[in-house]
Structure 1
Amino acid sequence: MLSGFMNFLWACFRPCSGRHVHNGSDSGGRQDGLLWYKDTGHHYNGDFSMAVVQANNLLEDQTQLESGSLSLQESGPYGTFVGVYDGHGGPETSRFINTYLFQHLKRFTSENQSMSVEVIKKAFQSTEEGFLSVVSKQWTMKPQIAAVGSCCLVGVVCGGTLYIANLGDSRAVLGRHVKATGEVIAIQLSDEHNACIESVRQELHSAHPDDSQIVVLKHNVWRVKGLIQISRSIGDVYLKKAEFNRAPLYAKFRLREPFKRPILSSDPSISVHQLQPRDQFIIFASDGLWEHLSNQEAVDIVQNHPRTGSAKRLVKVALRKAAKKREIRYSDLKKIDRGVRRHFHDDITVVVLFLNSNLISRASSIRAPNVSVKGAGVNLPSNTLAPGPT
């Protein structure tokens, strides 16, 4: 039966070959089918590796690494910014975040003259408000944009301090060397906002005590209002502003009863960590990776292989596991085109940020050239809205 299903897929969908590829600014990345990767690069605090594999018809994951000045002022501070944006319902929100979030962060860092939790919160808030403005302007012509949203995972390394901010279920994991045993252990740095987590469901019930249906078990998956798994995001305006939860938005998204307070939140969970010499690297990845790899498995893969190509290696291990789950070969999985590929795995984005303790310990006022890298997928029009549900 599975063999017949695969034959049907290949008969209907041709593999992706010979397509043009769009790379981000100064990316220097390479393409292998639906896999884009940059094996190695340098940032203010060490080296990095980046990879993105596309599964959806339109790539909904976006990612960026910005290194150098974290401010609009020449005096700095200097450091490294990593963003992983896992979109849903379409690519509009993740693309918007990829364009504007870091610019907002630089503006507020300039105003504050330093990096801080408050600066990051303001950058998230301004990005949310900016996308709401886009939805308001496009609503009458493109109402479906109200149901487009994105998870948002950010890491900022500045002056020996690591800030982790998160909305949704992407994840940041630290690899830390343990001197006594010589092993490198995995430490999860980000809080996740997914209704499958009991504490998240309790948080939702506490915020909506009058709504017994705030979380619904649907097809063995916990969903907020039976629609979406995550409880925090950028976008998803239809679950934050009641005026957008009506026709002409698709009926399958609309709630039967009006709501008085936002159902989803755009308030990020932010943690602050003082980096130590034994902190080796940080893995930033969308949930497409963590669906197939545990935190420790991912850390072991990075630790036990050369740094070059670390992100690509993680993606390929995840893809091999995805293929094995469907009882097909990895070589056959690679032949399946975007769109159909989503039946086998999600878009997967990975950034591995290696930390050089000598560079970490230097002052954040020391100037360095700016580096800007953005992951890429198959080149498609930037204003194309995915037709399907979240």
Structure 2
Amino acid sequence: MWPTLKAASEVPAKRKVVASEGCDGLLWWQELVPCQAGDVSVSVVQANFFLEDQWCIESASPLGTVIGVFDGHGGPETARFVCDQLLPNLQEAMSSPLAVTADAIGKAFLAMEEGFIALVSSQWETKPSLAAVGTCCLVGVVHQGTLFVANLGDSRAVLGKVGHDRRIIAEQLSSEHKVSDEGVRKELMALHPDDPDIVVLKHNVWRVKGILQMSRSIGDAYLKHQQFNREPLPAKFRLREPFSRPILSADPSIISRSLQPSDRFIIFASDGLWELLSNEKAVEIVHKHKRTGIARRLIEAAMVGAASKWEMRYSDLKKIDRGVRRHFHDDITVVVLFIDHGMLVKDHAQGHRAVSIRSTPT
């Protein structure tokens, strides 16, 4: 269920990293791992019967540091596929080894989308339900002194930076595609003017076609291609009315910015964290505590909040098994990157602090 670090013999030019990791029931963590952009802490807690979150950290010259958080829905298959394919697709999309651009990242997202749709097509007769599986996709790339953040769905990246008064400030870096946002609903309605049910308020929650809460994803082929909205896809997934244009998009929102000396750390997390902690609270926790194990500390703070909502103790929540646990909180993945500005200006041809870590499919 939980990941392993690849040894240098498995990953050319990447040294073996020995880091403290631990597991407490459904909670797993890696305390702190050095990478080319600084130090990184990661933690995951499972709530679904099958863990649908996946993540990866790839840090090596000349690309830099790549962090991915993939929050699957309908099953883990798309998140696993994207976790496997992000790095090779990103490398393929770059016109040269040093050409990390927003355009290259966008091409990598498109390649992952096309690759998964091709997989759905190839398994259509034997595993049609794969057409109803998708994932949100949050990717951060630190290349030399530039940060890129690309997002599909409702995961989030938040920067912690020091203000003029030396107080820590939270700045959200990613754009989210949740139909709870009026702007996202208007965007969908403008794209589908002939469909009065493109967004539906169901049990007080806005959903696309009454199904998903996000408007963009990788996968979800049955909501993008009419050819998959038919038998043998189980009837519970099929839309009653045919459609002529994709209902969901796989076009990511991408930002780039030069990292400043005041930028301290970035929190990358699936929406399970942000449902329970505000941007400001999460940044405050990271700022006030030691780096080691900080991702685990964030998840524990979120679970304390989840327990409180249900008027129960955190110790009792921890005893609830996977599957049933989903009634109390979602799968949560957190990756915290502490930025070392000194490392960013060093010789990028060196293999120092190179590392490759990723979640292991269950």
Q: Same fold (TM over 0.5)?
A: yes
Q: Retained in 2: the 8 A contact 1:51–1:375?
A: no
**Residue in 1 that maps onto 2:4:** 24
**Residue in 2 that maps onto 1:60:** 52
User: Residues 58, 146 of structure 1: CA spacing in aligned structure 2 closer, same or farther, 3 A cutoff?
Assistant: same
Cα shift at 1:111: 4.3
**Residue in 2 that maps onto 1:185:** 169
Q: Give the letter aligned to residue 265 of structure 1.
A: S
Q: Which runs of 5+ in 1 are unaligned?
A: 1-20, 70-75, 381-390
Q: Retained in 2: the 8 A contact 1:52–1:375?
A: no
SS of the counterpart of 2:307? helix
2:120 to 132, 135, 139: 135
Cα shift at 1:361: 3.2
TM-score (normalised: structure 2): 0.94
1:43 to 9, 27, 35: 35
1:291 to 266, 269, 275: 275
Cα shift at 1:360: 2.4
2:218 to 234, 238, 243: 234
Q: Retained in 2: the 8 A contact 1:158–1:364?
A: no
**Using the alignment, how far apart are the partners of 2:281 and 2:35 within structure 1?**
25
**Residue in 1 that maps onto 2:292:** 308
Answering whether residue 101 of structure 2 is matched by residue 109 of structure 1, we say no
Q: Retained in 1: the 8 A contact 2:72–2:135?
A: yes
Q: How does 1:219-230 map to 2 (within 5 A)?
A: 219-230=203-214
**Using the alignment, how far apart are the partners of 1:342 and 1:367 within structure 2?**
41
**Using the alignment, how far apart are the partners of 1:253 and 1:111 within structure 2?**
42
Aligned pair count reads 350
**Using the alignment, how far apart are the partners of 1:275 and 1:196 within structure 2?**
31
**Residue in 1 that maps onto 2:255:** 271
**Most deviating of 285-294 and 351-360:** 351-360
% identical aligned pairs: 57
**Residue in 2 that maps onto 1:383:** none
Q: Retained in 2: the 8 A contact 1:159–1:363?
A: no
Q: Retained in 2: the 8 A contact 1:205–1:214?
A: yes
Q: Retained in 1: the 8 A contact 2:35–2:353?
A: no
**Residue in 1 that maps onto 2:139:** 154
Q: Give the letter aligned to residue 105 of structure 2.
A: I
Q: Give the letter aligned to residue 262 of structure 1.
A: P
**Using the alignment, how far apart are the partners of 1:244 and 1:211 within structure 2?**
19
Q: Give the letter aligned to residue 318 of structure 2.
A: K
**Using the alignment, how far apart are the partners of 1:362 and 1:68 within structure 2?**
13
**Using the alignment, how far apart are the partners of 1:368 and 1:338 within structure 2?**
39
Q: Retained in 1: the 8 A contact 2:159–2:266?
A: yes
Q: Retained in 1: the 8 A contact 2:91–2:97?
A: no
RMSD: 1.5
- Deviations for 1:218-256, whole angstroms, at most 9, x for unmatched residues? 110000011111000000000001010112212222111
Q: Give the letter aligned to residue 202 of structure 2.
A: K
**Residue in 2 that maps onto 1:202:** 186
Q: Retained in 2: the 8 A contact 1:67–1:371?
A: yes
**Residue in 2 that maps onto 1:323:** 307
SS of the counterpart of 1:267? coil
Answering whether residue 191 of structure 2 is matched by residue 211 of structure 1, we say no
1:145 to 115, 119, 130: 130
**Most deviating of 22-31 and 206-215:** 22-31
User: Residues 201, 343 of structure 1: CA spacing in aligned structure 2 closer, same or farther, 3 A cutoff?
Assistant: same
**Using the alignment, how far apart are the partners of 1:225 and 1:132 within structure 2?**
20
Cα shift at 1:374: 1.5
**Using the alignment, how far apart are the partners of 1:171 and 1:83 within structure 2?**
11
Q: Which runs of 5+ in 2 are unaligned?
A: 7-16
**Using the alignment, how far apart are the partners of 2:284 and 2:342 within structure 1?**
23
**Residue in 1 that maps onto 2:82:** 97
**Using the alignment, how far apart are the partners of 1:191 and 1:227 within structure 2?**
21
- Deviations for 1:186-212, whole angstroms, at most 9, x for unmatched residues? 000000001000110011011111111
Cα shift at 1:101: 1.2
1:368 to 338, 352, 360: 352
**Using the alignment, how far apart are the partners of 1:107 and 1:247 within structure 2?**
35
- Deviations for 1:53-90, whole angstroms, at most 9, x for unmatched residues? 00001000001111013xxxxxx2x4100000000000
Q: Retained in 1: the 8 A contact 2:134–2:218?
A: yes
Q: Retained in 2: the 8 A contact 1:86–1:170?
A: yes
User: Residues 181, 287 of structure 1: CA spacing in aligned structure 2 closer, same or farther, 3 A cutoff?
Assistant: same
SS of the counterpart of 1:151? strand
Q: Give the letter aligned to residue 297 of structure 1.
A: K
